[in-house]
Amino acid sequence: MSESSFVRAVLVLPVSDMNQARDWYANALGFETAYLHNDPVEDPDGNYAILRRDGAEVHLILDEPPRDHPWTTAGIGYLFLLVRGVDAVYQQVQAKSVTVTRGIKKEGWGARAFQLTDPSRNLILIAEDTQS
């Protein structure tokens, strides 16, 4: 019998405007678009994208009614990014005039974290685990 293992988990965030979302993640957090699923005629802006920065990967899906699944509704996502050097990331975000919805604070579980909201109203928590 072969052993099984989980390889990785992928977060898919629903967004209301693919171009706006991709631009925001690039400008605010330094993510690059690694893949964009689009059709030049029917969907030139794309309806699915894969963004990467360092070891993090975020997938975006366009909120396109009618929805087969309610999880694709823009604004209901929650992205939790673990980083090294949360203070430096915080300073980088502030230097780009990105709106911070909650400044850095120590979390009850030991991390230091701050919070953003993307243009589609998805919540983003950027944290550094200070316990390890």
* Residue 2 included in any domain: no
Average pLDDT over residues 2-15: 88
pLDDT above 90: residue 5: no
* Residue 1 included in any domain: no
Number of domains the chain is built from? 1
When comparing pLDDT for 107 and 67, which is higher?
107
pLDDT above 90: residue 104: yes
pLDDT above 70 as % of the chain: 98
* Residue 125 included in any domain: yes
DSSP element (H, E) containing 22: helix 18-29
Q: Give me the domain span that covers residue 123.
A: 11-66+75-129
* Residue 5 included in any domain: no
Q: pTM for the complete prediction?
A: 0.90
Q: Are 107 and 122 in contact (CB under 8 A)?
A: no
* Residue 6 included in any domain: no
* Residue 3 included in any domain: no
- Confidence band of 126 (pLDDT split at 50, 70, 90): very high
pLDDT at 132: 61
* Residue 97 included in any domain: yes
